[in-house]
Structure 1
């Protein structure tokens, strides 16, 4: 998870998804700044690097083809 401006995003299978309390929606990578604030703790990022993949809400799954 990361924040750019006032918006929060997630990375899912190489795609960027916008997140809010209603769920996920499509986002365009090219509209994001080069620098963002990472919200996911380093310890969790390291778990992802080791191969762990979290489950996503169905609103995210419907956006990925």
Structure 2
């Protein structure tokens, strides 16, 4: 069996991969913290590249925010 490593993810697939909600991912995109790519001219299906997803994850705080 030949497996191909994913290079990019749809928003729902990225949310699943990082165990977060689609809403959390969309909020990160809307705030400009997570930058999707738009491979079609219509721009209706954003994708998150593996490199961008890793960059965003590395930028997240490692400590719990104070209440």
TM range (shorter): under 0.3
Whichever structure has more helix as a proportion of its residues is: 2
TM-score, normalisation: structure 2: 0.24
Whichever structure has more strand as a proportion of its residues is: 1
Look at both structures and tell me which one has the larger radius of gyration over its CA atoms.
2
TM-score, normalisation: structure 1: 0.24
